[in-house]
Amino acid sequence: MDTILDTILDKHRNARRDALIPILQEVQEAKGFLSRESVAAIGEILNLPTSKIYGVATFYNQFRFSPLGAQHVQICRGTACHVKGSAAVLDALERELDIEAGQTTRDGQFSLEVVACIGACGLAPVISVNGEFHAGVLPEDVNNIINSYRVDEEVQADAK
């Protein structure tokens, strides 16, 4: 039994279809992503086919179907950020983490996501790591920013 999921779904026993997106948001918030089991369980509660739920979930940017990295890096690709050079920052991030946007590093430490606009256009280009903003980022800053979040590999090795 999945108690986290059950607790959320219990709150929505008599919900209608308009509760679907809030439920998906809550489940993702609690579990990190939407698993097949979660989607099936939500379908059961709302009496909705899984294909419909998957259709809704894949329509919106917010939902994902695999877990995020321990450090979630978001890069804003809004117009202001673009004009201020966020494409180069994205390249630098992809190089630094050796993954493409939308992926998670193999060790599960970092995931990288492109977001449409964080709404902090005055500070462009902006990236956020686990919700912490970094303003006016230049490609050459990326290395330092990422390293400051990296769990020190040597420290880890020593601990072993």
Partner 1 sequence: MFTIQINNRNIQAKAGETILQVLKREGIKVPTLCHLEDLFPTGACRMCVVEVEGMDGLIPSCAFPVSKDMKILTHSPKALQARKTIIELLLANHPDDCLFCVRNGNCDLQSLSEEFGIRQRRYSGVKDNYNIDSSSPSIIRDPAKCILCGKCVRICEEIQGVSAIDFINRGSEATIGPAFNEGLNVSSCIYCGQCINVCPTGALREKSDIKRVLDALNDPDKLVVVQHAPAISVSIGEEFNIKPGKDVMGIMTSALRRIGFDRVFDTSFAADLTIMEEGSELVSRIKNGGKLPMMTSCSPGWIKFVEEFYPEMMDNLSTCKSPQQMMGAVVKSYYAERENLDPKKIFSVSLMPCTAKKFEAERPEMSNNNIPDINAVLTTRELARIIKMRGLDLNDMEPEGPDTPFGERSSAGKLFGVSGGVMEAALRSAHFLITGKEMDDPQITAIRGLDGIKEAHVKIGDLEIGVAAASGLANARNLMEQIKNGRDDIHFIEIMTCPGGCINGGGQPIGKDLDAIKSRMKGLYQIDRDASNRLSHHNEYVNRLYEEFFEAPNSHKAHELLHTHYHKRDVMK
Partner 2 sequence: MPNKNTNNSMSFLPEDASLEAVLYDKLEIGQQQELSENYSQIRREKVDKPAIFIGTGTCGLGAGAKKTLKKIHTYLDVHNIDADVMEVGCIGLCVEEPIVDVQLPGRPRISFSRIKEDKIDNLLDNVFKNKIDTDQAICQFPPKGLKEWEGVVSIDKHPFFAPQTRWVLANCGIINPASFEEYIAHGGYQALAKTVRRYTPAELCDMVEKSGLRGRGGGGFLTGKKWKFALNTESDQKYFICNADEGDPGAFMDRAVIEGDPHRLLEGLAIAAYGIGATKAYIYIRAEYPLAIERLKEAIIQARGMGLLGDNILDSGFDLDIIIKKGAGAFVCGEETALIHSIEGKRGMPRPRPPFPAVSGLFGKPTIINNVETIANLPALLVNGEEWFSSVGTETSKGTKVFALSGKITNTGLVEVAMGTTLRDIVFKIGGGIPDGNAYKAVQIGGPSGGCIPEQHLDIQIDYESLIKVGAMMGSGGLVVMDERTCMVDVAKFFMDFIQRESCGKCIPCREGTRRMLEILERITKSRKSEEGIDALERFQGIMYLNRLGNVIKDTSLCGLGKTAPNPVLATLHYFRDEYEAHIYERRCPAGVCRDLLTYEIDADKCIGCTLCSKKCPVDAILGNPKTPHFIIADKCIGCGACADVCKFNAVNVN
Give the strand order in the sheet containing 132-134. Answer: 110-115, 71-76, 127-129, 132-134
- DSSP E strands: which ranges in the chain? 71-76, 110-115, 127-129, 132-134
73 forms part of the interface with partner 1 (CB under 8 A)? no
151 forms part of the interface with partner 2 (CB under 8 A)? no
From CA 131, how far away is CA 128, in angstroms rounded? 5
- Considering the complex, what minimum distance in angstroms separates the CB of residue 84 from partner 1? 25
- Considering the complex, what minimum distance in angstroms separates the CB of residue 128 from partner 2? 8
For partner 2, the binding residues in 50-109 under the rule CB under 8 A are 55-56, 59-63, 77-84, 88, 91-92, 95
- Contact region with partner 1 (CB under 8 A), list: 10-18, 36-44, 110-118, 130-138: 36-44
Of 32, 49, 102, 108, which lies in the binding site for partner 1, with binding defined by CB under 8 A?
49
What's the residue count for the chain? 160
Of partner 1, partner 2, none, which one does residue 30 interact with (CB within 5 to 8 Å by kind)? Answer: none
Beta-carbon contacts of 100 under 8 Å, excluding residues fewer than 6 positions away, are: 94, 112
